[in-house]
Amino acid sequence: MSDNSILAQDTHFFGDVCKNFDYAAKFTKHDAGLLDQIRSCNSVYRFRFPIRRGNGFEVIDAWRVEHSHHQSPTKGGIRYSEFVNEDEVMALAALMTYKCAIVNVPFGGAKGGIRINPKNYSVQELENITRRYTVELIKKNFIGPSIDVPAPDYGTGEREMSWIADTYATMNPGQLDAMGSVTGKPIALHGIQGRREATGRGVAIAIRECVGVAEDMQKLGLPTGIAGKRIIVQGLGNVGFYTAKFLQEYGGIIVGICEFEGAIYNADGLDVEAVFQHRKAIGSILGYAGAKQEFKNSGEGLEQPCDILVPAALENQITAENAGRIQAKIIAEGANGPTTPEAEAIFYAKGGIIIPDMYANAGGVTVSYFEWLKNLSHVAFGRINRRFEENNNLNLVNMIEGITGISLTPTQRATIVKGSSELELVNSGLEDTMIRSYHEIRETYKLEKIDTLRTAAFVGAINKIAVSYQNLGVWP
C-alpha cells in the first residue's frame, strides 16, 4: 500500500473519542478551558528513521503520543501495523488516559505506533526497527520509568518489550529502575505473572459483573450469570483467546469465533483451545471440524445468533452499516474503539448494553501497573510474606484442630496453609479492580440518569482527571 493511500484512510477515530468526551462533559460542571485541557493530546511526536534492507534503505514512519500529564508517568502500548496513522495513535492515547482513570491506575495516557506489517520483516529487521524506535524516544525524553512507559499492543509482544528494555538499559547505564521503562516483558526479564492473559481475564470479569446484575438482565430478557450464555468472540489473538478461554471456564458457551480469514459458528459450542491449535497448525480457523457453519466474510460471523458479542480485534468493526444486524444483546468491547458512535446509538435503540472498551479491556494496564510497581520495588509479589502467611495459617489450623478434635486431610491442610503466589496476588488485584470499577460506572449510570455505560465511564474519568489538574494548578 502506498503512503498516499494509507494517509487517505478514514481518520476520524480521535474525532469519535472527542465526540463521546464532549457528550459526557455535558453531565459534568467543569469549565470549558479545563475540559479542553483534558480532551487535548499534550504531546504528539511523529518521526521517521531509516533501516538497512538488503543493499539499500527503507524509511520507517513512527509515532509516540502522550495525551495527558495529569499523572506521571504516561502509559500505553506500541502498535505495529501497516495501517497505523497519527489519528489512530492520538485516539488510543486518549482512551488510555480515560481507561487509567476509570480503574484508578495512576498513569496518564500514551500510545505508540510504527507503520509496518511485521510479517514482511525478518526477526533481525524487527529488532533493528524496535531498537531504533526506542533510541528515538530516548533522544526526545519520551520513554523512562518516571516519564513514559510503553507496553505491547497489536503486532507486538514480550519479544519487542525485551528489546525496548535492553535498549533503554544500555542507553542509561547504572539506572537502577531501567526495567521499569516498559511493561509486558517476559518473566525472565522482570515481567510479572499473569500479564499475558490479563486483558482477556479482565474482559471476562467485566462481562461476569455485567450479567450478574439482575435488574439489567431482566430488561434484556436474560437470566443472570454467565453459565449458558451464547458468546461470539472476534479475534483469536492474545485478548480474544484468553477472553474466550475464561468465559468458557465460567460456564459460557463460545458459539462463534471470527478472524480476518473468516468465521466459524456452532450453536452447540466450540472448543476454544482446539480452534486455537487448529489455526496454529494450518494458519486459519476455517476447516475446523467442530464448526457447523463457516463464513469467508468474517463480518458475517458477528451477525449470528448469540447473547454476548466480544469484538476483540481492531477498531470500527461494528458500524452503522451492520449494527442493525447484530443479534447479541450485550457487546463487550475487548478491542479499542470497535463500535462507532453511530452504531452504538443503533444498538442501544434496540435495547442492548455495551460494556465500553475504556473499562472492559483495562485489565492489561492494571497488571502493567503491578509489573511497574514490581520493577520499582525490585522484589516479586509474595516473595517476602509467603512463608510468613503459611506459618500463620498453619498455627491457625493446628489451633482449630486442637479445639475441635477434628483432623483435616493432608490435601485440606495444604490448601488452607498455602501462602499466596505472585500469580494469585496479581489475579486477585485485577479481579478487585474490575469489580469495583464496573459498579462505580454503573452507580454513575443510575444516579446521573445517563443513557449509556460509556458515557457514565467518561463522566467518572473526566471528574477524576479534573480533580488532578485542579490540585496540580498551573505552572508557572
From the CB of residue 215, how many other CB atoms can be counted at a distance below 10 Å? 9
**Residues 150, 62 contacting (CB under 8 angstroms):** no
Triad 177, 178, 184: Cα angle to 5°: 105
Alpha carbons 372 and 181: distance in angstroms, whole number: 8
Relative to beta strand 293-295, strand 308-311 is unpaired
Report the alpha-carbon distance of residue 45 to residue 43 in Å, rounded: 6
* Angle between the N-to-C axes of helices 363-377 and 86-102, in degrees from 0 to 180, rounded to the nearest 10: 80
Residue 97 to residue 38: CA distance in whole angstroms: 9
3-state SS assignment for residue 264: strand
| H-run or E-run covering 202 | helix 198-211
Q: Return the DSSP state at 121.
A: S
Distance CA 230, CA 307 (A): 5
Q: Which of 69, 91, 71 is nearest to 79 (CA)?
A: 91
| 406, HSE (Cβ side, Cα atoms, 13 Å) | 6
Catalytic residue (one of 111, 185, 229, 245): 111
DSSP summary character for residue 107: -
Point out which residues pair with 148 in neighbouring strands.
74, 144
Closest CA to 346 of 214, 218, 192, 452: 452
Is the C-alpha dihedral spanning 198, 202, 204, 205 positive or negative? Answer: positive
Residue type, 282: I
CA-wise closest residue to 193 among 421, 382, 423, 368: 423
The three three-digit cell numbers of residue 50, written as one number: 531509516
Q: 118 forms bridges with which residues in the sheet?
A: none
Q: Kindly report the number of other CB atoms within 10 A of residue 411's CB atom.
A: 8
| 418 in catalytic set | no
Q: 121 exposed, middle or buried (CB, 10 Å; 0-12, 13-18, 19+)? A: middle
Q: At what angle do helices 386-404 and 410-417 cross, to 10 degrees?
A: 130
**What positions carry a catalytic annotation?**
111
